[in-house]
Structure 1
Amino acid sequence: MIQKIQINDTRFPLGKGAGSDAIHRDPIYSYAVTQLIDDSGITGTGFAFTLGEGNDMVCRAAQFYAEQLKGRDIEELMSDFGAVFNRLSNEQQFRWLGPHKGVIHLALASVTNACYDLWAKKRGVPLWKLLTDLSPEAIINTLDLSYLEDELSRDQALQLFKDNYPGKETRKGIISAGYPGYDTSIGWFNYSDEKVRENSRRAVAEGFTAMKLKVGSPDPERDIRRSHIVREEAGNDIKVMLDANQQWSLPQALKICKALQSMRPYWIEEPTHPDDILAHKTLADAIAPTKLALGEHVPNRIIFKNYLQTGSAGFIQVDAVRVGGVSEFITVSLLCRKYNIPVVPHVGDMGQLHQHLVLFNHISMGHEALFLEHIPHLQKHFVHPAKIESGVYKTPMEPGSSCDLKPLK
């Protein structure tokens, strides 16, 4: 059973220009880390991602949630984790601070992810294997489907898994083949044009078949110029995505996105405020067939439901260290499967946890094995860092979710 809890405020300053975008010019990649230690000495590690300030507040909230799990056996806990998640996320005083968003929901993500890590380690398997080996009923028991009843009842969720069971064994070939990655680090916002060009060449040489550029400059001509630099270096066969990180108003987005279409972006990401679903719908209709991607700042399954209902997004970037953890990630993935919308996670975890989740999405739900974002900046801090070879994630085989961090020196 869970005997001890450790919460850590962990922050990692980045190199010059790394991690920068149109809104976040000098981020400090940070984790609110939850460790759940059971009576056999096994430690489950989970975290939520922030950019520095406020990470301590997430840690304090995580402490509150984690304390409520003391004395619980992990197998018993996960057998009905959907009910546990529902109870914690709707705690009557804490809920006022959300609901289901902000500091408290990030804290719940940290604790939830630690539960899944402990569960996989207790069984001695990597998280992707634990999840893919579970029965549909066992998976559904870990999910909170409340507020989704109009789109996804328990019976409908079970049927989605059953409908996608054929082909599951064939799809397991991804375990040995590896999952494609895409390179986000070619074009951070503060990088010079020359560095963007150099990084684009390097990514191609390293085998990446997709890459992403940060846009959202005060001068749109800078964005247009830099996007064509990437396209020139990448060639016609490589997918190039553009990410505005919420910088534009709708009138700006309508004008600039149309101008950016000339370089044939695979998607345009977070073009405007993430809460403005109708603005995304207007923009999506205006720039079709170019698609929008979003989810980095969408905090919960209900808002994702609305995006899917309105047809506002061509790609969903749900992040398990932004929503309420692995449980809510799977819930959103189920919704996306119903709508046949690809899930391409944002990786606040640097791909550590999500490399497991995209395998599960593909094998058990039949999601397309499109690609997963790759950001290498924190690799040296993980006990088992994600491995990319020739632009492809190599499947992790160590027990757990690959989220254990090395002690800070």
Structure 2
Amino acid sequence: MSQTITKITTHDTRFPLGPGAGSDAVHIDAVYSYAVCQLHTEGKTKGIGLAFTVGAGNELVCQAIEFLAKELVGRDLDELMAEFGEVQRKMSNHTQYRWVGPHKGVVQLALAAITNACFDLWAKERGVPLWKLLLDLNTEDTIALLDFSYIEDALTKDEARAILNSHAIDRHKRESILTENYQGYDTSIGWFNYSDQKVRDNIKKSMDAGFTSMKLKVGSPDHERDLRRAFMVRECAGDNATVMLDCNQQWQMQESIEFMMKAKGMNPYWIEEPTHPDDILGHQTLARAISPIKIACGEHVPNRIIFKNYLQSNAMHFNQVDAVRVGGISEFLVISLMSRKFNIPVVPHVGDMGQIHQHLVLFNHIAMGHEALFLEHIPHLQQHFVNPCQIVDGRYITPQDIGASSDLKCLQNQTICEVN
């Protein structure tokens, strides 16, 4: 029996990290935080939706959630999800709140939390993990979840149907990923404020844990420091390891080109966020200038329209769309479909610490035919989740608990998980 949404509550949750953890060239003092949307029903089932911030402003996202989600109260869940693409379109275009967007910033983060809560509640109501909920949908049900406004010049509904239908024919061949498990890559070896020795120690621990791919934060005013550490990681990890560099938007255009020309010798798999995330043509220029080094970006791209422009401009080689940054799971899926049309791999940024995305990459691979490359792994908040993602031999174990793996212990236990 379908549930009715009876109440919405929000929670400002903040989790300080250990010394140096989470630091990059721009965010030197991050507090990993979630603006949480909690959807209540007549029963005990609650949908939990996350939007990620780094602390300050988290309370503003919670206020926006409370405003935007009002119209969900009294809605039957199955009826809501049967037309969710239209529901999301209306929420994102609210006549007042659109002015402080549109489709970006505080309002878009609120939409992410609301959307993710709806999907979590839906999976719990069906009694299945999110990945299975999505894989059990037929093509038309999937299309109904998505908002195609402003992108049909790049991806029509018919093209999306064709992608899903064509890959349904041989999806059984890709379902082996459910038992083989999805490869991870380790972001936590090389935070910006870690010492050289800590980075070396972390590389050894990471490789002992089965990881063969890892990432180093760069973007220091001292390029020689970054270059030395990049070559150090390559030496420690060995030639067979996959090593990525992440600038977190710190560099100017020419600075980015000059650095990557010097870094070519350590064979980086990609350079992530090499300049400002709104500079689509700048990324296009960079992609040409630093070839064959590839560009990964999308962590700070807030909506499908800007992703459309990146794809149309050949300005990215890896799409790092994040379901707790764009308008939630629904917009993540339509961006993944658009990326599939343009043959660009989706390797999500994990503001959720991989909890939700471990489900989404399985759907991307099985239902859309996306290559199963790897998924970012950041371990710092595992102790705060009711069902933390499980990593064995560097691979995400396919989750079996119902829902989207986004329940937080502090909400379940009604304890304080907020830092003022």
Fold conserved between structures, TM > 0.5: yes
Quote how far apart the aligned CAs of 1:245 are. 0.1
| Pairing 1:336–2:336 present | no
Listed one character per residue, the Cα deviations across residues 68-90 of structure 1 (whole Å, up to 9, x for unaligned) are 10001111100010000000000
Alpha-carbon distance in 2 for matches of 1:206, 1:396: 19
Partner of 1:75: 78
Q: Which runs of 5+ in 2 are unaligned?
A: none
Secondary structure of the residue that 2:271 maps to in structure 1?
A: strand
Cα distance in 1 for partners of 2:150, 2:69 equals 24
Query: 1:202-241 alignment to 2 at 5 Å?
Result: 202-241=205-244
Q: Aligned letter for 2:214?
A: M
Tell me the equivalent position of 1:97: 100
What's the secondary structure of 2:168's corresponding residue? coil
Aligned partner of 1:289 in structure 2 is 292
1:265 to 253, 265, 268: 268
The residue that corresponds to 1:387 in the other structure is: 390
Return the offset for 1:166: 2.6
Tell me by how many angstroms 1:136 deviates: 1.0
1:312 aligns with 2:353: no
In 2, distance between residues paired with 1:227 and 1:361? 31
Q: Could you tell me how far apart the structure 2 residues matched to 1:42 and 1:206 are?
A: 36
Give TM-score scaled by structure 2 length: 0.97
In 1, the alpha carbon distance for the partners of 2:135 and 2:52 equals 25
Structure 1 CA distance for aligned equivalents of residues 257 and 184 of structure 2 = 29
> 2:194 aligned with 1:191, yes or no?
yes
- Equivalent residue, structure 1, for 2:167: 164
Name the structure 2 match of 1:181: 184
Q: Deviations over 1:52-109 (max 9, x none)?
A: 0000000000111221100011111000100000000001110000000000000000
Task: Note the 1:127-138 alignment, pairs <5 A.
Answer: 127-138=130-141
Q: CA RMSD in A?
A: 0.7
* TM-score between both structures, scaled by the size of structure 1: 0.99
Task: Give 1:109's match in structure 2, choosing from 112, 115, 126.
Answer: 112
The reply on whether 1:25 has 2:25 as its aligned counterpart is no
CA distance in structure 2 between the partners assigned to 1:11 and 1:86 by the alignment: 29
- Secondary structure class of the residue paired with 1:342: coil
State, as a whole percentage, how many aligned pairs show the same letter: 62
Number of residue equivalences: 409
- Note the C-alpha offset of 1:138: 0.5
How far, CA to CA, are the matches of 1:33 and 1:11 in structure 2?
A: 10
In 2, the alpha carbon distance for the partners of 1:302 and 1:164 equals: 25
Q: Which amino acid aligns with 1:341?
A: I
Counterpart CA distance in 1 for 2:96 and 2:159 is 32
CA distance in 1, matches of 2:228, 2:139: 48
SS in 1 for 2:78: helix
Where does residue 374 of structure 1 map in the other structure?
377
Q: In structure 2, the residue corresponding to 1:231 is in which secondary structure?
A: helix
Separation of aligned partners in 2, 1:167 and 1:128: 18
* In the alignment, structure 1 residue 279 sits paired with structure 2 residue 282: yes
Which whole-Å CA distance do the structure 2 matches of 1:287 and 1:360 have between them? 32
Aligned partner letter, 1:310: S
